Amino acid sequence: MAEACTYFFLSSLLFSLLETSNSLDTLPSNQSIRDGDTLVSAGGTFEMGFFSPGSSKSRYVGIWYAISSGTVVWVANRDTPLNDHSGVLTITDEGVLALLNSTNNVVWSTNISRTAENPVAQLLDTGNLVVKDGNVDDPERFLWQSFDYPCDTLLPKMKIGRDLVTGLDRIMSSWKSTEDPARGDFTVRLDPRGLPQRVLMKGNTIKARTGSWNGLRFTGYPGVTRNPVFDYEFVMNQNEVYFDFTLVNTSVFSRYTINPSGVAQRFVWMDRTRSWELYATSQPDACQTYAFCGAYATCDRDNSPACACLKGFLPKSPKDWKSIDWSDGCVRRTPLVCNIGDGFLKYTGLKLPDTSSSWFNATLSLDECEGLCLKNCSCTAYSNLDIRGKGSGCLLWLGKLIDTVVYSQGGQDLYIKVASSELGMTKRRPEKDCENEGLKEDMELPIIDLTAIANATNNFSSNNKLGEGGFGPVYKGTLPEGQVIAVKRLSTNSGQGPIEFINEVKLIAKLQHRNLVKLLGCCTEENEKILIYEYMPNKSLESFIFDETKSKLLDLRKRIDIIGGIAKGLLYLHEDSRLRVIHRDLKASNILLDMEMNPKISDFGLARSFQGDQIVSKTHRIVGTYGYMSPEYAVHGQYSVKSDVFSFGVLVLEILSGKKNRGFCHPDHHLNLLGHAWRLWIVDRAMELIDESVVDAHTRSEVLRLIQVGLLCVQQRPEDRPNMSYVVLMLGSEVLLPIPRQPGFYADLSVADSPSSNNATYSANGISISTFEAR
């Protein structure tokens, strides 16, 4: 019995020792691990051994997360699988790590440039498998490391880039499939030509470009900011150029991968669910496709069509361009004549063009950079190398400008060289013209020459007059190249003074969205204050919905599309633009319609921007338009995004009914349109608000839903109104809607319909207010 107990104890001890030896993190020379054995990193984070991916029968040596054995992050013999379980991984006396098959033939091995006295292979807690001399822990003295040979996964502190001394190029490459880790079609690498940039390639073809590093981020990632998971790092010196990422919180696991389809993805391990959660993906849209619009063009996913030639350039193949084939790009309208009057047009908010044909210098100023570009006949554009602070360094493009993208937020400034004749309508340094108005660098758009504007509008001829806005007349004009424009000329006695003018220029120049009118330029010569807009051939929404004849051209489907477009434009202003913008004068006359009757919000003279977490502001100077102002703004001067939501709700009810809120008249009561709509709603007669010619039985539920959204937006209390993201959701889905409460200004209104006086008195819910500048 004692012998049996002794035997059992020794057997257990031996088994325990074998278990321990199979779980060590280090493989000494002339020792090996076989299929079924593993190395485990000291902290227990990573494990290395033999595996078969998915249902494959092939065997590979790989490294995976200990918490998730199916998450393989590196494969040794990815292109030379074993056919059975007889593989052996060993390290020789010289420090060569080798994988042998059943016939002792080498299937895979490391290459080293020097031998070691006491070589060992060790799996580090970073996931890096290293071959080194004994107890040497200095990465610079490692004989070999798996981090130098990435597969489809980038781990923290794993470099992608080039060692300029040895020539080693660290490149990520996808698996062929989820069950075959052999090198696939896609790679992620740093293109070292010109200013190094990160690219996604399929074979030898660039498919997408993250762009060059600007001191804060890659230019193709304008929205990337500090986050609780990781930080990117970019290093460029005489010895190496690379990027990697580090974890902000080392207790979090995160990995960056490229899947067999070429989609880059970032995952974070969630302890709560014991699974990987997709944190970000680079599923490409059209504008992320490399050179989607060709040379000398920009791609803007918020516009339709997405591609547009740069100013001063025309489609190389007009026929293909009209057929939505933009691959040939654009060419100069006027060739450059080197050193004879060439100048620059400034673009903002861009992903900078392909830098493979560029030159850079970290010590030059932007002015010095401009001078160099002017002197170099091959230079096509320039920009700051580093955007931190006020910007520094010089980056010159010495070839075609390719793969330039417009962003709604973030992005960089780019100065594009054009011929002197293209500058005839623009000053070389446009900010100086508006310097007295306080615009300077903030303007971000060209200054148009007054003579050119006068010529375009036939000297502001009455025959060219489109209408009279609140701040002055608007004229139709035609530029020499044929572009039709709208010219807003502020009258000297208009309510919009220098402050409103500067405000409109600063704000709208920074805003880009398909449902916002584009500002093309401005002019301040000879005390003029002129704004140049894209021309809207169908004029304003007001000219349609309140006109007995033209309103018949707007069927219900078109009205719904217009409501949806306005909502998306407002959502962009409130939540998605670089600034949180409150329009403060949203009304039917400030909604312009393009050739396809798409709505575009215009007239930003009264708009205000909020910074950071600011959500409400107050003013003693209440400006706006009767019938569209929210109660809290009209009575207390408080405005927020909910003020715009109220105005939007008024617009919804006006668009559906074809009736104006201001001046609405009904024989049964003295309520405005909001009050009338509310009365009908609470007695279940809301359909009476709509012209029968617009609605049929199939659209009844859709119309009732729109009326309900409109009433939700005009509720008395701002906190009861939805924000625009919820409005867009309600308009675009079948989400259950809340029950609206009483609208603002729900009372008998006995106000004279003559608010032209700047001191007019307005009665709302029994409260009288003055000091209006309403229109």
* Separation in Å, CA 332 to CA 144, 395, 417: 52, 22, 10
d(CA 129, CA 26): 10
d(CA 412, CA 415): 10
Is residue 7 over pLDDT 50? no
For residue range 204-246, list pLDDT tens digits in order.
999 999 989 999 888 887 766 667 788 888 999 999 999 999 9
Q: Minimal CA–CA distance to 156: which of 274, 253, 276?
A: 253
- Domain boundaries defined on the chain: 22-149, 287-423, 430-534, 542-774
Percentage, residues of the chain above pLDDT 70: 84
DSSP state of 575: I
In this structure, the strands spanning 197-202 and 180-191 are antiparallel
* pLDDT score of 600: 95
By the 8 A CB rule, do 89 and 37 touch? no
By the 8 A CB rule, do 755 and 682 touch? no
97 or 112, which is more confident: 97
Helix axes 700-713, 641-657, angle to 10 degrees: 150
For residue range 494-552, list pLDDT tens digits in order.
555 566 676 667 667 778 788 999 888 888 787 788 888 889 999 899 999 998 888 88
* pLDDT score of 404: 96
For residue range 653-680, list pLDDT tens digits in order.
999 999 998 877 777 777 889 999 999 9
383 or 611, which is more confident: 383
724 or 491, which is more confident: 724
Averaged over 123-143, what is the pLDDT? Answer: 88
Is residue 186 over pLDDT 80? yes
CATH class, range 542-774: mainly alpha
Give the strands of the sheet with 38-40, arranged side by side: 38-40, 46-51, 60-65, 68-75
Q: Minimal CA–CA distance to 158: which of 249, 254, 261?
A: 254
Averaged over 604-626, what is the pLDDT? Answer: 65
525 or 623, which is more confident: 525
For residue range 298-334, list pLDDT tens digits in order.
999 888 788 999 999 999 998 888 878 898 999 998 8
For residue range 391-407, list pLDDT tens digits in order.
899 999 999 999 999 98
Q: Could you tell me the pLDDT band of residue 116, with boundaries at 50, 70 and 90? A: confident
Q: Could you tell me the pLDDT band of residue 446, with boundaries at 50, 70 and 90? A: low
d(CA 348, CA 332): 20
For residue range 54-71, list pLDDT tens digits in order.
999 999 999 999 999 899
- The structure tokens listed for 387 are 């955007």
Chosen CATH of 430-534 out of 3.30.390.10, 3.30.420.40, 3.40.50.970, 3.30.200.20: 3.30.200.20
- Catalytic center residues: 585
Q: Domain 22-149 is of which CATH architecture?
A: Orthogonal Prism (2.90)
d(CA 615, CA 636): 16
- The structure tokens listed for 240 are 């190496």
What's the predicted TM-score (pTM) here? Answer: 0.55
Least confident of 78-92, 93-107, 466-480: 466-480
Is residue 47 over pLDDT 80? yes
By the 8 A CB rule, do 673 and 660 touch? yes
* pLDDT score of 441: 43
Averaged over 181-201, what is the pLDDT? Answer: 95
Q: What is the mean pLDDT of the chain?
A: 83
User: Which of 409-435 are b and which e, b meaning 16 or more Cβ less than 10 Å from the residue's Cβ?
Assistant: ebbbbbbbbbbeebbebbbeebeebbe
For residue range 457-498, list pLDDT tens digits in order.
999 998 999 887 666 789 999 987 678 899 988 866 555 556
Q: Could you tell me the pLDDT band of residue 624, with boundaries at 50, 70 and 90? A: low
> What are φ and ψ of residue 558, in 5° steps?
-70, -40
The one-letter code for the residue type at 734 is: E
The secondary structure element, H or E, covering residue 520 is: strand 519-523
* pLDDT score of 224: 62
124 or 549, which is more confident: 124
* Separation in Å, CA 386 to CA 274, 366, 372: 41, 10, 17
Tell me the sheet residues that pair with 235: 242
* pLDDT score of 492: 61
Is residue 8 over pLDDT 80? no
For residue range 688-701, list pLDDT tens digits in order.
998 766 777 668 88
Averaged over 404-432, what is the pLDDT? Answer: 72
* pLDDT score of 137: 78
By the 8 A CB rule, do 107 and 100 touch? yes
Is residue 10 over pLDDT 60? no
d(CA 292, CA 172): 24
* pLDDT score of 2: 39
Averaged over 586-603, what is the pLDDT? Answer: 92
DSSP state of 576: I
